[in-house]
Amino acid sequence: MTETAADDDRVGLDTLASARGSTDGKPAGRAAGAARRRRVEINTVEWAIAALVGLLLLRLLWSLATNENLLPRAVVGHLLHPDVLAGVWLTLRLTVLVFALASALGLVLGRMERTANPVLSSVAAAYVWIFGGIPVLVHLLLWSNIALVFPDITFGIPGVHIDTVRLVTPVHAAIVGLALALGAYAARALSGGDRLTALGDLLVTTLQATSLVSVLAVTDLLGVVQALEERNHLIIPLLIVAAIWYLVLATAARGAIRLLATVHRKAQTPRG
């Protein structure tokens, strides 16, 4: 009699526990269902937005493809124009030279900022503040007109007389102005941990900044394009040519840095 009552009690407890478990599981199940519904709603909204964006892009591409004012034949015909290629070559040389100078200057300034010497750190901080706060275009204009401040360069040596106008050509002014301005940018960019990424950004920034030298009558890519515009008045097609070349060069620069970063990571990974 006692064993039967004990068995009945155990059965009752098990039934009660099962009932409680099923009751406790209902809120969790409802929460999971609500989360799934929210995800479905979010995905639906995202796909609706994606469809709208896709339609707008297709409309834009169709408008560009059927717009006679863009003159696609003129764009294709000038992509490999000898003058354009000469401008691309000068742009590449300016980019490499300015990038090297700005990187070296940035590393020196960064080291000076981290030193315990208050004079060196203050000088570096002041340089970054002043040169980094002045627009690059203003740098170029200042250096191209440096002869108005220093007509002659003597270095304090008797008999030494250098005409500043002959020494500081537009190309030289462009190199100095860009290097000094981007050196301040490099000092900030290279102070972080991932220097390869910072160098890649600096390289692309340098490439883009070289387009400003056209205001100094330098025949870089943009300067050549502007000269061609004055001859044939194909303003939009030639600007598209310049945009395509800058995009190609920037993509190649980023790809080279990305490849270098991959090789560097593999070299740093210990072999098993």
What is the reported pLDDT for 53? Answer: 95
Q: Which of the listed residues 33, 51, 66 is the one where a domain comes to its end?
A: 66
Beta strands in the chain (DSSP E): 152-153, 162-163
- Band (pLDDT 50/70/90 cuts) for residue 19 is very low
Phi/psi for 153 (5° steps) reads: -115, 120
Q: How far apart are CA 243 and CA 159, in angstroms?
A: 49
What is the reported pLDDT for 5? Answer: 46
pLDDT digits 0-9 by tens, 196-241: 788 888 999 999 999 999 999 899 999 999 999 999 889 999 999 9
Asked if residue 97 and residue 228 are part of one domain, the reply reads yes
Asked if residue 88 and residue 164 are part of one domain, the reply reads yes
Residues 6 or more apart whose CB falls under 8 angstroms from that of 130 comprise 184
Asked if residue 107 and residue 11 are part of one domain, the reply reads no
Other Cβ atoms closer than 10 A to 108:
15
Asked if residue 206 and residue 260 are part of one domain, the reply reads yes
What is the reported pLDDT for 125? Answer: 93
Q: Which of the listed residues 49, 66, 83 is the one where a domain comes to its end?
A: 66
Q: How far apart are CA 260 and CA 196, in angstroms?
A: 8
What is the reported pLDDT for 260? Answer: 83
What is the reported pLDDT for 46? Answer: 85
Q: Which of the listed residues 22, 49, 66 is the one where a domain comes to its end?
A: 66
- Check pLDDT > 50 for residue 3: no
For the chain, what is the domain count?
A: 2
194-210 b/e (C-beta count within 10 Å ≥ 16 → b): ebeebbbbbbbbbbebb
- Band (pLDDT 50/70/90 cuts) for residue 67 is confident
Q: How far apart are CA 78 and CA 80, in angstroms?
A: 5
Residues 6 or more apart whose CB falls under 8 angstroms from that of 32 comprise none
Asked if residue 180 and residue 53 are part of one domain, the reply reads no
Q: How many residues in total does the chain contain?
A: 272
Q: Which two tokens stand for residue 161?
A: 């007389």
Q: How far apart are CA 207 and CA 201, in angstroms?
A: 10
Residues 6 or more apart whose CB falls under 8 angstroms from that of 94 comprise 171, 174, 175, 178, 210, 213, 220
- Check pLDDT > 70 for residue 69: yes
Asked if residue 253 and residue 144 are part of one domain, the reply reads yes
Q: Which residue has the higher pLDDT, 120 or 35?
A: 120
Asked if residue 246 and residue 155 are part of one domain, the reply reads yes
pLDDT digits 0-9 by tens, 142-164: 999 998 888 887 777 777 778 88
Q: Which residue has the higher pLDDT, 251 or 14?
A: 251
Q: CATH no. for residue 180? A: 1.10.3720.10
Asked if residue 5 and residue 46 are part of one domain, the reply reads yes
Asked if residue 196 and residue 231 are part of one domain, the reply reads yes
What is the reported pLDDT for 25? Answer: 52
- Band (pLDDT 50/70/90 cuts) for residue 21 is very low
Asked if residue 132 and residue 14 are part of one domain, the reply reads no
Q: How far apart are CA 47 and CA 248, in angstroms?
A: 31
Asked if residue 183 and residue 225 are part of one domain, the reply reads yes
Asked if residue 51 and residue 31 are part of one domain, the reply reads yes
pLDDT digits 0-9 by tens, 29-48: 677 777 777 777 778 888 88
* Contact status, residue 5 vs residue 13, Cβ threshold 8 Å: no
* Contact status, residue 150 vs residue 163, Cβ threshold 8 Å: no
Q: How far apart are CA 214 and CA 170, in angstroms?
A: 10
DSSP letter at 218 equals: -
Please give the residue range of the domain that contains residue 56. 1-66
Q: Which two tokens stand for residue 223?
A: 């300067």
Instruction: Look up residue 94 and give its amino acid.
Output: L
Read off the pTM. 0.76
CB < 8 Å & 24+ apart, contacts of 253-256 = 253/200, 253/203, 253/204, 253/207, 254/200, 254/204
